[in-house]
Amino acid sequence: MNEFPVPLSGAQAETLMWAHEHEVEHAALNQLRGISRLPWVRGVRVMPDVHLGKGATVGSVIAMRDALSPSAVGVDIGCGVAAVRTSLTVEDLPDDLAPLRSAIEAAVPVGFSAHERDVDLRPLRLAQRGTGLWRRFGDLHPGVQDRETRAHHQLGTLGGGNHFIEVCASTSGQVWLTLHSGSRNIGKEIAERHIAAAKVLRHNVGLPDRDLAVFLAGTPEMDAYRRDLDWAQDYAALSREVMLALLEGVLRRAFPAVVFSERISIHHNYVTEEVVDGERLLVTRKGAIRAGAGTLGLIPGSMGVGSYVVRGKGDPRSYWSASHGAGRRMSRGEAKRRFTTADLAEQTRGVESRKDAGVLDEAPGAYKDLAAVIAAQEDLVEVVEHLRPLVCVKG
């Protein structure tokens, strides 16, 4: 029997954790306690990949009554993962995977790069979604209206940080494509404007942590944020679909007979309305996926570890949630100070990937043990596949 969940000491609203307090940094615990004390919070659930976040804790699921905190979503609105299983096996791949990595990097811009022109969505069978998305752009916050061209060019691009594209092998040798990405600059611009707007609202003035400022239901500010939030979530989801289509094109050119089947695409920084204990609440997941009964999800680790394909068990104690990844065990700055490029090369041995100083902060040693994170939530998800990375692309 799993020992979790355990209650968080000092919390006001019910806060249940799939991690022990001694395993979590002190600042993150205090951040969670602060969230639990907001008068609108019905409950908080804490995933095993929990760590300190900007504004609100990564790995938190927050159910709020008639209120929503933009910091509890974060600045990468709609960040999430996607995966598709291919008909290829490891035996179909060449010994040298460097050309495949180069082909992926040529098809999908990474880091600060963007497409030189809009991606043609018609051959990707995504034109209707794209048309609907851009038709709504003029309704967004006035402060982002000059970002439309940039947003067009960044659609279907990876970004940097912990975002990745991977070619992986399952335990049976089946080849999968996986990726992790968000809403790029436009999501950040939208989030920052609304976070700033929330902080100056009168009902937030007395909060002990102004980063947790909220919008209240039935107000123009809430309506504006929900509109922009929904748009950014749709943008991020479409961007992942575009990248998957471009990646499938790379494999088709290399392996004309390849077939693509099982597909996963989920957010892990987002908001939904859900019924909790008979009450309709706003549920915010920041670094957490929905793990409803039978729902497929992807929980990635670091660039040397790969990912787990999981199936949700629908546990209401977690608000039907699970972790979004392994979670960091040290900051980016500490990782850069602690690891060398030789460490990175050793930790990513056998993976075709960058091994330079530019990705030291993404060294596998900077992350928690993914297998332990999965084990801590065995009552929330069941493992379907463990995917081992063969190629990892980062910005």
Q: Where are the domains of the chain?
A: 6-329+367-394
Half-sphere exposure for 251 (CA within 13 Å, toward CB): 23
Q: Is 267 annotated as a binding residue?
A: no
Output the pLDDT for position 1. Answer: 55
Rounded CA separation 217/224 (Å): 11
- Residue 30 in marked binding region: no
Return per-residue pLDDT of the chain as tens, 395 residues. Answer: 578 999 999 999 999 999 999 999 999 999 999 999 999 999 999 999 999 998 899 999 999 999 999 999 999 999 999 999 999 999 999 999 999 999 999 999 999 999 999 999 999 999 999 999 999 999 999 999 999 999 999 999 999 999 999 999 999 999 999 999 999 999 999 999 999 999 999 999 888 888 999 999 999 999 999 999 999 999 999 999 999 999 999 999 999 999 999 899 999 999 999 999 999 999 999 999 999 999 999 999 999 899 999 999 999 999 999 999 999 999 999 999 999 999 999 999 999 999 999 999 999 999 999 999 999 999 999 999 999 999 999 98
Query: Which positions ≥6 away from 348 have C-beta within 8 Å?
Result: 303, 304, 355, 363, 364, 392
324 noted as active-site residue: yes
Residue 141 assigned to a binding site: no
Whether 394 and 171 have beta carbons less than 8 Å apart is answered as no
Q: Give yes or no for a contact between 235 and 78, defined as CB atoms under 8 angstroms apart.
A: yes
pLDDT score recorded for residue 208: 80
Question: Regarding the domain delimited by 6-329+367-394, which CATH topology (the fold level of the hierarchy) does it fall under?
Answer: tRNA-splicing ligase RtcB (3.90.1860)
Q: Is 268 annotated for ligand binding?
A: yes
Per-residue confidence (pLDDT) for residue 110, from 0 to 100: 97
Please name the amino acid found at residue 302: S
- Identify the pLDDT of residue 304: 84
Residue of 152, 153, 324, 386 marked catalytic: 324
State the pLDDT at residue 122. 96
Provide the 8-state DSSP code for 202.
G
51 known ligand binder: no
Structure tokens at 140: 């967004």
Cα dist from 227 to 71, 79, 137, 141, 148, whole Å: 16, 17, 10, 9, 16
- In angstroms, what CA-CA distances link 211 with 191, 195, 286? 12, 8, 14
The annotation status of 166 as a binding-site residue, yes or no, is yes
CA distance 9 to 327: 22
- What separation, in Å, do the N-terminal and C-terminal C-alpha atoms of the chain show? 41
pTM: 0.96
Q: Is 324 annotated as a binding residue?
A: yes
Distance CA 72, CA 211 (A): 9
